[in-house]
């Protein structure tokens, strides 16, 4: 297990050169080796979705991948949602609609929703709930998360 390999990860457009054991998960490398701790680990078995990041635009569980598998792919994390000091419409909507309490699941929900709305900006209300039901939140009861994502979706559509 001590044979390490050199890889380059593209996280939010920045290149991170890291020397890691091949067994290290993408989530651990993003957090511990690249210092981007906005991606959270809630279960490490792919159910809760707190570790969701975008890989070439698709939401994935970063706890279920090895970092070496993400070489050459474009990784986006919650730290990459903000443009300068401008919050992403989803970030603003989560604040405005009280879509978070403890905030631990929030980065995962934001990335899940961002990936969903970029792929399918006109997603129906019902399909949107289906997608959001793939992540877990223990504080909010989801209602305000759903409200926030719907509001952000509407804003993003009207900005097109």
Partner 1 sequence: MTAENKTGIGASVTRLEDLPLVTGKGRFAADVSFPHQLHMRLARSSHAHGRIRAIDVSQAAALSGVFAVWTAADVADVPLIDFREGPIEKLAPYRQPVLARERVRYVGEPIAAVFADDPYVAEDAADLVFVDIEELPVLMDAADPPGEFAPGFSTEPTICKQGYGDIEGAFRNAHAVVAMDLSVGRHSGVPLETRGAIGRYDAARDVLELHGAAKVPHKNRETLARMLGRSTAGLHLFEGHVGGGFGVRGEIYPEDILVLVAAMRFGRPVKWLEDRREHMMATNHSRQQRHRIRAAVDADGRLLGIDDDFLHDQGGYIRTHATRIADTTCGVLPGPYRLPNYRINGHFLLTNKTPAATYRSPGRYETNFVRERMMDVLAHRLGISRVEIRRRNLIAAEDMPYERPLVALGDDVVLDSGDYAGLLDKALVRFGWEALERSVAERRASGERVGLGIAMFVEKSGLGPTDGARINVDTTGCVEVVTGGASVGQGFETVMAQVCAEMLGVDYRCVRVVHGRTDRIEYGIGAHASRATVMTANAVAVAAAKVRTKALDLAAQLLQTDLRHLDVVDGEVVRTDVVNGPSISLASLAHHLRPASPTRGTRDPGLAAEGWFDTAHQTYPYGVQLAAVAIDPGTGAVAVEKMLIAYDCGRAINPMLVRGQLVGGFAQGLGGALFEEFQYDERGQPLSVTFADYLLPTAREIPTVDVLLTEDARSRWNPLGIKGAGEGGIAAVGAVIASAVEDAIGMSGIITQLPITPQRLKRILDDRAQAATGGEHRVY
Per CB under 8 A, residues contacting partner 1 are: 1-2, 21, 23-24, 31, 36-45, 47-48, 50, 77-79, 81-82, 87, 91, 94-96, 98, 100-107, 110, 129-130, 132-146
Pick the closer one to partner 1 by CB: 73 or 147.
Answer: 147
Pick the closer one to partner 1 by CB: 69 or 87.
Answer: 87
CA angle (100 as vertex; 94, 101 as ends), nearest 5: 155
- How many Å apart are CA 120 and CA 135, to the nearest integer? 18
Q: Is the dihedral of CA 151, 154, 159, 160 positive or negative?
A: positive
Pick the closer one to partner 1 by CB: 28 or 70.
Answer: 28
Neighbours of 53 (CB within 10 A): 29
Shortest CB 52 distance to partner 1, Å: 12
Shortest CB 148 distance to partner 1, Å: 10
Pick the closer one to partner 1 by CB: 72 or 106.
Answer: 106
42 in Cβ contact with 104 (< 8 Å): yes
């Amino acid at each position: 297990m001590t044979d390490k390999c050199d890889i380059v990860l593209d996280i939010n457009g920045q290149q991170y050169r890291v020397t890691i054991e091949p067994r290290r998960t993408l989530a651990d490398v993003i957090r511990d080796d690249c210092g981007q701790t906005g991606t959270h680990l809630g279960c490490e078995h792919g159910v809760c979705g707190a570790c969701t990041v975008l890989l070439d635009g698709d939401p994935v569980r970063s706890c279920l991948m090895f970092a070496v598998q993400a070489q050459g792919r474009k990784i986006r994390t919650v730290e990459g949602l903000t443009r300068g000091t401008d919050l992403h419409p989803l970030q603003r909507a989560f604040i405005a609609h009280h879509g978070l309490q403890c905030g631990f699941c929030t980065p995962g929900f934001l990335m899940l929703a961002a990936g969903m709305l970029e792929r399918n900006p006109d997603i129906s209300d019902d399909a949107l709930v289906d997608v959001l039901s793939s992540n877990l939140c223990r504080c909010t009861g989801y209602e305000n998360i759903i409200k926030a994502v719907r509001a952000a979706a509407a804003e993003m559509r009207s900005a097109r």
